[in-house]
Structure 1
Amino acid sequence: MPSTLRISLAARASGDAMFPQLAVRDAYAAAVLEQIRDDGHALPEDRATIYGILNRTRRFRSLAQEFLKQHPGGRVVNMGCGLSHYFQWLDDGKSRLTDADLPEVLELRRELIPETSPRHDARALDLTSPDWWEQLGLPRKRNGPPVFLFTEGVLMYLEPQQVQAMLATFGERAPAGSVLAFDAMCWLAIGRAAQHPSVRATGAEFRWGLRRIAELTQAHPRLRLDSTYRVLEGMGPLYTLFAPLVLMLLGVPLYAVYALSAVDQADT
């Protein structure tokens, strides 16, 4: 069982009171946390993580909602869903959401979060597998309808070559207009999970961090970077003051949500 899934769950359950300006109003998180007998007691001391999780949740949600406005009845896939419940925010009466994760996560998920709509399903997924696109039942041809894919709190735990392979598959297979959104740390985080207040207790390690923005689109010529959202900006004066300096020195944000799209040559 991936040990980090409790972190996001606990942040959504307790973070609204701490940062009301970023409240996500998750109707499920607190009850699920209680069922797995985890009160999230370690997280309140890690304010930066709670802030980041709430802010990135809001960003993924808004990106998906924007996509669904442009593509009514469109398909959204949460790759590495853990125990999150985005359908509560994305159900517009027409949208279709697939929650995908490792089989052991889905087994726990079925016990804790019942599916209530035929437009909301779950699929087993290994994002490091070469056939992950097929595992999700995504369009076989590029002339299919666009899809919105997102993966939250996942890629930093993969090897760099696995991330590039995933980006390349999206670039090669996705219908034009499809979007892939994900969060990424900068390269300074690699190998330093033991210094992270919440992650260090899980035994997980950060294996991939962004070194250059160009890395995001180099995997395939159809990839285009649409947006970058610096997740920790606004947390406090120090973050706001030093963010431009950090960007200048490191070349990339410390932590951000990125949105890529697949475009055909005629669309560029």
Structure 2
Amino acid sequence: MHECLSAVPSTLRIPLAARALGDALFPSVAVDDAHAARLLAALGDDGALWLRDRGSVYGVLARTRRFRELAGAYLARHPAGHVVNLGCGLAHYFQWLDNGQAHMTDADLGEVFAIRRALLPAAGGRHVLREVNLADAGWWDALGLPAQRGEAPVFLFAEGVFMYLQPEVVQAVLRTFGERAPAESVFAFDAMCWLAAGRAKQHPSVRHTEAEFHWGPRRPAELTAPSPRLRLAAAHPVMEGYGWPYQWMGPLFRAVLGVPFYALYELHATDTEN
């Protein structure tokens, strides 16, 4: 079934395999995904190819826990809030985030949903699916996100998505969030720095797909430049717990180049323009 996916959507197998099989390899960042193993098997994928890249397995689990933590913190402040997973693939975050009040939208391309609808239980009520392309200017309204800044804050996240987008699309998405999001809204996403652009064939897992990296920040200011309402709240490390080379190379890389090689960024929409 997965053979019908185009280049970027085909990368959904990488995080799916990590969440399905990675807990035993890295119990310190285990995520206890109740659906991933079944979904991976349904794709006819035993995960062996992806498990060879242990670094990516660790990174997926670590970033999953961080996304869950940030979304959970948002829901602690806004229990009936709206969480949106942009480029959800076959991830099922609502299993971890459903507090009985929260609303969640899983968003992705139509070709992904053709598979998702066949393999995951039908969504409904407080958990809905929306087909959307972030390259389309109307993605915000297509997701039913707030029409006015005075509405309740929302939490958006994009996992393993931004590095595959063209730079102008990333800037447009961040601009839309900055212009449209109510104050105290959060946008979390992971990204590699600009050095990775054009080098997907050097990535141990992504090289087995036809996907390419197109974007990564050169400096933190790029992330807030699209709108004066954007504030960079944090650049969360992802790989530092993987082992000693990452523990000392990560901070060194950031000190030399000004941005992490890979990090999970947390942007907030503010109530005043900076």
The TM-score bracket by the shorter chain reads over 0.9
Post-superposition Cα deviations, 1:7-59, rounded to whole Å, max 9, x if no partner, equal 11001011100000000000000000001111111112101100110000000
Aligned 8 A contact 2:178 2:227 in 1: yes
| Residue 185 (str. 1) matches residue 207 (str. 2) | no
Distance 1:6 1:244 in 2: 30
The TM-score, its normalising length taken from structure 1, stands at 0.97
Matched letter for residue 209 of structure 2: T
Q: How many residues are paired up?
A: 267
- Counterpart residue number, 1:111: 118
| Residue 120 (str. 1) matches residue 127 (str. 2) | yes
Cα shift at 1:124: 0.6
- Counterpart residue number, 1:141: 148
Cα shift at 1:88: 0.2
Aligned 8 A contact 2:123 2:129 in 1: no
- Counterpart residue number, 1:52: 59
- Counterpart residue number, 1:216: 223
| Residue 196 (str. 1) matches residue 200 (str. 2) | no
Cα shift at 1:117: 5.0
**Root mean square deviation, CA, Å:** 1.1
Matched letter for residue 223 of structure 1: L
SS in 2 for 1:242: helix
| Residue 91 (str. 1) matches residue 109 (str. 2) | no
Cα shift at 1:115: 3.0
Distance 1:108 1:45 in 2: 25
Matched letter for residue 91 of structure 1: D
Query: Which of 234, 238, 242 lines up with 2:245 in the alignment?
Result: 238
Aligned 8 A contact 2:17 2:40 in 1: yes
- Counterpart residue number, 2:39: 32
| Residue 130 (str. 1) matches residue 137 (str. 2) | yes
Matched letter for residue 247 of structure 2: T
Name the % identity: 59
Distance 1:14 1:220 in 2: 40
SS in 1 for 2:241: coil
Post-superposition Cα deviations, 1:221-253, rounded to whole Å, max 9, x if no partner, equal 000111111111111011112222111122111
Q: Which runs of 5+ in 1 are unaligned?
A: none
Q: Runs of 4+ in structure 1 displaced over 4 angstroms?
A: none
Q: Which runs of 5+ in 2 are unaligned?
A: none
- Counterpart residue number, 1:69: 76
Distance 1:127 1:242 in 2: 33
Distance 1:201 1:17 in 2: 24
SS in 2 for 1:78: strand
- Counterpart residue number, 1:11: 18
Query: Which of 244, 256, 264 lines up with 2:271 in the alignment?
Result: 264
SS in 2 for 1:183: strand
Distance 1:66 1:208 in 2: 28
Distance 2:123 2:251 in 1: 45
Post-superposition Cα deviations, 1:135-181, rounded to whole Å, max 9, x if no partner, equal 10111111111100001000000111110010000000001111100
Distance 1:82 1:158 in 2: 15
| Residue 247 (str. 1) matches residue 254 (str. 2) | yes
Distance 1:210 1:232 in 2: 18
Aligned 8 A contact 2:17 2:51 in 1: no
Distance 1:129 1:37 in 2: 32
Matched letter for residue 70 of structure 1: R
SS in 2 for 1:182: strand
Matched letter for residue 31 of structure 1: R
Matched letter for residue 222 of structure 2: E
Matched letter for residue 17 of structure 1: A
